[in-house]
């Protein structure tokens, strides 16, 4: 059973969203667990008592590895014995906040999952996807990425505005959950007012929510903004409020029941946060996607028209589109990207700025003066290039640009577009040995705009019929 199935089963069995943190320290050790023996033995006795008292009331346990590492080998032995004592049907989330890459990350993952036997771990996203790949290789494990933490200084970086106009924590939520279905998010209850924005960016993810209790987090606000549409998806983490209580069971029971009472009293709409306007809706509002009667260059009458050149006049929207390209680009091997003039060139610049990928571009006309370059920018033969274009219809300009790059010795095997008009272009790309990737298909646009009320179903059907007919005509 993978972590999230195990978590859901434990949550349902115990009717609980409570996660108890096991963070024993000598300073907070209750007197009743002190003995004349060694301190690690006392800390273990404390943990075992908490587990025995609360195992029927929680859905997860969260030991923080720092409190065990501080006691050296004896402390790590306490951690292993603590994990072994947790009933097998309750998952263990190791709070380690690892954040490294390559062989170091692989060693951390091995330590967390194989050596210690944890079901999930907390991770830092600061190094990008590379910092979670080694952990995601364990397909049955959960990965909780720091998104908006509970500490007072969280906003120094996490709230910084991005080119899209959104704060960094929203970009982290959307990007990190796109890396793997295993990714959940850490969102502090002390900043409950941001919970709904993060839920809108990550509608299906589980949230680990620390900060309830000693840190003064907003329990009701966290649930109102963080619960998924199914009334679940929020893991409320409490440590001292349970482990430091005179009666561990009574404290856990009171918290579990309070959480459930808040859940029951929330209006049905509270668990479905309002989404920010999507990129599709924004393109329609901009006029980049229009419906009506349009004469195409071929003379054919079309019931829709797409003009993504308008993006250059809306910098925030261009940046949002570039971020969407970037999420696909990160999954592809590449040394550089190439924007196809003219519409694909400003988008390519935006993608380069958003991802750090160096940009080149093939000229439509080779210069007859100066250096006589056919490809602008710096590059080396043999490098892998991902081609960037605004949209794809028949793929003629994409294939022509790719061939020019290939003639110069560059390797072109992938192309990304914002919109696939679904008129045969992807098939033509494949015939040219290029894998096509689209942020949206035309059918995606039609579905969302119909659902949002921007167009009616009759308009959507006219467009589909037109596209089907033109695609067949090209076949």
β-strands 120-123, 93-98: how paired? parallel
Selection from 267, 268, 271, 244 nearest residue 255 by Cα: 244
Selection from 81, 74, 85, 79 nearest residue 38 by Cα: 74
Q: State whether the Cα torsion 113-97-25-75 is positive or negative.
A: positive
The length of the chain, given as a count of residues:
475
**How many Cβ atoms from other residues are within 10 Å of residue 4's Cβ?**
19
- The single residue of 6, 62, 97, 141 carrying the catalytic annotation is 97
For residue 324, count CB atoms less than 10 angstroms from its CB and return exposed for 0-12, middle for 13-18, buried for 19 or more: buried
CB 28 within 8 A of CB 47: no
Give the three-class secondary structure for 185. strand
Looking at the DSSP bridge assignments, the partners of residue 186 are 146, 208
97 among known catalytic residues: yes
- What's the count of helices (H) and strands (E) in the chain, helices before strands? 19, 16
Q: In which residue are the tokens 């720091």 written?
A: 146
Q: State whether the Cα torsion 328-333-335-341 is positive or negative.
A: negative
For residue 98, count CB atoms less than 10 angstroms from its CB and return exposed for 0-12, middle for 13-18, buried for 19 or more: buried
**How many Cβ atoms from other residues are within 10 Å of residue 72's Cβ?**
10
- Residues known to be catalytic: 97
């Amino acid at each position: 059973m993978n972590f999230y199935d195990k978590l859901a089963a434990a949550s349902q069995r115990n009717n609980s969203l409570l996660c108890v943190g096991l963070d024993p320290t000598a300073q907070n050790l209750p007197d009743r667990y002190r003995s004349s023996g060694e301190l690690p033995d006392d800390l273990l006795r404390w943990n075992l008592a908490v587990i025995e008292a609360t195992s029927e009331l929680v859905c997860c346990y969260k030991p923080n590895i720092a409190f065990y590492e501080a006691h050296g080998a004896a402390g790590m032995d306490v951690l292993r014995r603590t994990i072994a004592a947790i009933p097998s049907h309750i998952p263990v989330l190791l709070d380690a906040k690892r954040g490294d890459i390559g062989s170091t990350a692989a060693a951390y993952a091995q330590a967390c999952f194989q050596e210690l036997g944890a079901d999930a771990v907390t991770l830092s996203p600061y190094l990008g996807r590379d910092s979670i790949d080694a952990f995601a290789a364990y397909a049955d494990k959960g990965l909780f990425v720091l998104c908006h933490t509970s500490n007072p200084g969280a906003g120094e970086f996490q709230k910084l505005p991005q080119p899209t106009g959104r704060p960094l924590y929203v970009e982290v939520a959307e990007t990190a959950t796109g890396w793997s279905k295993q990714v959940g998010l850490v969102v502090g209850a002390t900043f409950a007012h941001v919970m709904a924005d993060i839920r809108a960016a990550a509608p299906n993810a589980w949230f680990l929510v620390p900060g309830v209790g000693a840190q003064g987090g907003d329990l009701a606000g966290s649930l109102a903004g963080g619960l998924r549409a199914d009334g679940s998806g929020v893991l409320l983490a409490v440590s001292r409020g349970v482990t430091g209580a005179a009666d561990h069971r009574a404290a856990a029971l009171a918290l579990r029941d309070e959480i459930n009472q808040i859940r029951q009293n929330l209006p049905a709409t509270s668990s479905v946060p309002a989404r920010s306007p999507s990129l599709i809706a924004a393109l329609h509002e901009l006029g980049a996607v229009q419906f009506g009667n349009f004469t195409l260059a071929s003379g054919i009458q079309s019931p829709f028209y797409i003009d993504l050149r308008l993006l250059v006049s809306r910098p925030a929207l261009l940046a949002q589109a570039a971020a969407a390209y970037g999420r696909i680009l990160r999954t592809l091997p590449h040394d550089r990207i190439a924007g196809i003039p003219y519409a694909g060139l400003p988008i390519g610049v935006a993608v380069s700025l958003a991802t750090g990928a160096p940009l080149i571009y093939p000229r439509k006309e080779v210069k007859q003066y100066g250096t006589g370059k056919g490809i602008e920018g710096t590059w080396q033969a043999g490098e892998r290039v991902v081609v960037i274009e605004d949209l794809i219809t028949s793929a003629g300009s994409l294939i022509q640009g790719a061939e020019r790059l290939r003639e110069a010795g560059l390797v072109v095997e992938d192309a990304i577009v914002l919109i696939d008009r679904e008129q045969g272009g992807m098939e033509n790309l494949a015939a040219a040995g290029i894998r096509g990737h689209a942020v949206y298909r035309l059918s995606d646009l039609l579905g969302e705009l119909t659902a949002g009320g921007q167009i009616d179903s009759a308009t959507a059907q006219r467009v589909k019929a037109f596209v089907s007919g033109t695609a067949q005509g090209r076949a």
